Structure 1
Amino acid sequence: MTPKEKLITVKEGEDQEVVKSLMYKHRIEKILVLDSKNRLVGLITMKDIEKSIDYPLASRDAEGRLMVGAAVGVGKNLEERAENLAQAGVDVFIIDSAHGDSEGVIKVLKFLKRNIQILTLLLEMLQQKMALSSYRIWADAIKVGVGPGLFVQQESLLELGCLNYQQS
């Protein structure tokens, strides 16, 4: 193990160029981040720096972390799963269902907005009327239209939808 006095560290909030130059100088690919009380609060890798340069428009939260979304269905254990995801720091919920106007989906949407209060996107609305009614019950965003599903053959069963061309 490396002794404490030989560790290469930076203070929280240090400029990216300073961090990068220290990493080059000491020929390391990872550097520890310390707070004002010298407690470990993070780790920066050269890959982190490269990705921030390659993808400057990546969605990040207030703490600079990549934003994360999680799909939730209408099945069992939704409440527990949603609460665990919220505690883990998820930024957006996507309600994943082939029928966005079903009673189960609306129940899930209401639960998420009343109890978890994280941005919620509702998928697969067939028509404007359905989309507007869902929006009124607190969906933050909606997707109107039905596309093909790999396991759910929506177009065949419902005789509607929009076939999307996918080249393999």
Structure 2
Amino acid sequence: MRHHLLAVAMLAALAGPAVAQSVAELSDEALLARVAAATEAQDADALLDAMGEVRTRSLLMFAGPQVCEAPVPDTAFWENEFFAGAAEKAYLVEAREAAMAAGSCGCVYEALPFAGFFEETFGKRPAELTDADYGRIRSYRRPDWSSVEQQYRAFREERCGDD
């Protein structure tokens, strides 16, 4: 009987700190390790407990929602909806084609640098565009705007699973 008590005491001494330490007391690294261990062990209760603490601490375990916005400068040209809309359409024709060519399902703005497009195509950085550039921008590949948009939608549906 003495051996059994000694064995139970040793087991409690070894396991005690791990069992007694609540998820709230764990370091961030230990907490994330507990999430991984609970997942591997398929221990739903331990996983829910650990994930609750992950949420409480606002630890990032997964990438947040992707923000896909053009880096539009704060200038009078870009504040005018007509001008900004024409510039965005001109840019999107090229960016969508670049994304399709690369097979990219990511943000379309990653496929072609926003500033690079305007510098190469119109010889100006986006912040340097003025009302005088509107006509050139509005007519840039205008006949292609609709067809490229349709091709890009079909590409996204087929390749990326977008509806």
Q: TM above 0.5, one fold? A: no
Indicate the structure (1 or 2) with the bigger Cα radius of gyration. 2
TM-score (norm 2): 0.29
Q: TM-score, normalised by structure 1?
A: 0.28
Q: Which has the higher contact order (CA 8 A, sep 6+)?
A: 2
Higher strand share: 1
